Amino acid sequence: MEVEKVSEETLKEISREMFVVRDTGVKEEGERLLELQIGPAHPGSGHMRILAWVDGDIVVRCDPDIGFVHRTIEKLSENRAYIKTIPLVERPSLLDTTPMTIGYVNAVEKLMGLEVPPRARYLRTILAEITRIASHFYGIGILSIFLGHSTGYMWAFGDREIMIELATMLTGARITYAYVIPGGVRRDMPQNFPDQLEKGLRYIERRLKEWEKIFLMNPVVERRLRDIGILKPEIARIYGVTGPNLRASGVDFDVRMAEPYEAYDEIDFMIPVAEEGDAYARGLVRFKEIEQSISIIRQALKKIPDGEIISPQISRLFNPLMKKIYSESRRVKLPSLMATLKPPKGEAVARVEAGRGEALFHIVSDGSPNPYRFRFVTPSFRNVILFKYLIPGHRIADIPAIYGSLDYFPPEADR
């Protein structure tokens, strides 16, 4: 495909349409409706356009216009080897990359029938929970920006750095780890990692108490969020809403519990549920999930067994140099055979609970080095429908509060 240059006339025409509030002249029940185009350039995470038809100050109809970050990951993966698709899967949701890679790698492992050693499963779980905490802090920070609560943004991103620093210790990268590979993980944890992790968790626990004072009990936050965007459980079920947004509506669905993957079936944890279903409950559930994640990490650290971090099916392909590196520094160099990994014909489905909800991976393999078809459904894409059905009936000023509380991340939804 040739990359098309945008002509001047098109730009002018679009600029007229895009940023101007225009009167559509639509008359419904004697009232005049205004078409209001919110975005795509607006403060927040990533970009989408919300078309709202307003009657006075009340939104009557709402239509999300997404696709500003559509990078055609499903198409690209059809031309890329299985291993090279792992970084591709990370990019849509750069906040919680590990659950996404776990899901994809699980699907590949199901295709190939690889067994993952227990230590690798625990390491995956620990990293997934670290990124979950980071992802929830990011969501809270963005919600704070939407509410004009600058302190919330500064605190959330400051606290997020602790978790990112811990993940850097484990993997060597800030946010794009590509840590999970078919059959295991790339590195073992460093000697001082458990101590540092415990230190970080204690800090986060202490901060959560302060967060309660500055955010959850803040009267401004409460008034902006309480009784806004109420999502009833039966509606949430029908629209297939997922993640903390679903659990804030009183449905205790979590893939970690429903279909345990990695080490989650050996760990005790609770699913925080709120009954109200409003924007405030969605924020609250995220805080409660951070507490649960801390407990999961502690248990995983306590239970983590010694042993291999890569499946013997992979490690027997190592050449002598790789074996030396692996035995000395516990780091996995992928054998060249992995580059042209050819899983047998078949189909595999895997799903994981990412920070924002359930992610679904479906791989169709035809026995070639590239996936024949890779279907990748992200939680944000499933939550897009809420913009259409949750916002109508609210005032324009409530749109940012609802948007922020949904923790919607456009690159993730558009893929």
Partner 1 sequence: MQPTQSSSVISKDSDLEMLLHILENKLQNIIIRLYPDKSGRAIYIEVSPDKIKDLALKLLELGFEHVKSVTGVDYPSENSIEVLIHVGSYLRTLRKYIVIIKTRLDRNNPRISTLTDVWPSSEFHEREAWEMFGIYFEGHPDLRRLLLPEDFEGVWPLRKDFHIRTRKPGEVEPPWK
Partner 2 sequence: MERGLERGSVVFVGQIDVFVKKVISSLIERRPVKDIIEWGVMYSLWPVHLMTSCCGVELAAGYAPRYDIERYGSLPFVSPRQTNLIIIEGTLTRKMARVARITWEQMADPKFVIAMGACAIDGGLFWNSFNIVRANEVLPVDVYIPGCPPRPEALARAILMLQDKIRSQGVKREDIELLERYVGKRS
Query: What is the contact surface with partner 1 in residues (CB under 8 A)?
Result: 1, 3, 10, 66-67, 70, 72, 74-76, 79, 110, 237-240, 246, 251, 253, 258-259, 344-349, 351, 358, 360, 362, 364, 366, 372-373, 375, 377, 381-382, 384-385, 414
- C-beta of 63: minimal distance to partner 1 in Å? 9
Question: Pick from 351, 410, 364, 346: which is nearest to 77 by CA?
Answer: 364
> Which partner, partner 2, partner 1, none, binds residue 141 by CB below 5 to 8 Å per kind?
partner 2
Three-class secondary structure of residue 67 per DSSP: coil
Nearer to partner 2, 296 or 354 (CB): 354
Nearer to partner 1, 38 or 290 (CB): 38
Question: Which of partner 2, partner 1, none does residue 362 bind (CB under 5 to 8 Å by kind)?
Answer: partner 1
Q: Which is nearer to partner 1, 64 or 404 (CB)?
A: 64
Residue 39, Ramachandran bin (φ over 0: left; ψ between -120 and 50: alpha; else beta): left
As a whole number of angstroms, the distance between CA 124 and CA 300 comes to: 10
- In the bound state with partner 2, the residue whose beta carbon lies nearer, of 67 and 194, is 67
**Euclidean distance between CA atoms 72 and 59, whole angstroms:** 32
CA-CA distance, 402 to 390, in Å (whole number)? Answer: 8
Tell me the closest approach of the beta carbon of residue 65 to partner 2, in angstroms. Answer: 9
Separation CA 127–CA 168 (nearest Å): 10
**Least gap, CB of 19 to partner 1 (angstroms):** 16
Q: Cβ closer to partner 2: 313 or 368?
A: 368
**Helix, strand, or coil here: 52?**
strand
Smallest separation (angstroms) from partner 1 to the CB of 364? 6
Using CA atoms, how far apart are residues 99 and 36, in angstroms rounded to an integer?
36
The helix/strand/coil state of 273 is coil
How far is Cα 212 from Cα 187, in angstroms, rounded to an integer? Answer: 36
Residue 298 CB, nearest approach to partner 1 (Å): 26
Q: Which does 190 bind (CB under 5 to 8 A by kind): partner 2, partner 1, none?
A: none
C-alpha distances in Å from residue 135, one per residue of 161, 188, 318: 11, 23, 35
The length of the chain in residues reads 415
Q: Residue 5 has what DSSP assignment?
A: P
Cα angle 406-205-286, degrees, rounded to a multiple of 5? 10
253: partner contacted, choices partner 1, partner 2, none (Cβ within 5-8 A by kind) = partner 1
Q: How far is the CB of 285 from partner 1 (least distance, A)?
A: 16
218 binds, among partner 1, partner 2, none (CB under 5 to 8 A by kind): none
271 or 377: CB nearest partner 2: 377
The footprint of partner 2 (CB under 8 A) covers 1, 3-6, 10-11, 14-15, 18-19, 40-47, 67-72, 75-76, 79, 87-88, 91-95, 138, 141, 153-154, 157-158, 160-161, 164, 174-176, 411
- Give me the least distance between CB of 200 and partner 1, in Å please: 33
Q: How far is CA 360 from CA 207, 218, 354, in A?
A: 33, 37, 10
Q: What are the backbone angles phi and psi of residue 349, rounded to the nearest 5°?
A: -120, 135
Minimum CB distance to partner 2 smaller for 70 or for 324: 70
C-alpha 370/C-alpha 282 separation (Å) is 39
Query: Which is nearer to partner 1, 294 or 386 (by Cβ)?
Result: 386
Indicate the residue among 75 and 223 with the shorter CB distance to partner 2. Answer: 75
Whether the CB-CB separation of 111 and 363 falls below 8 Å is answered with: yes
Query: Residue 1 Cβ, how far from partner 2 at the closest point, in Å?
Result: 4
**Taking CB within 5 to 8 Å according to partner kind, which of partner 1, partner 2, none is near residue 41?**
partner 2
For residues 394, 398, 402 and 408, what is the CA-based torsion angle, rounded to 10 degrees? 120
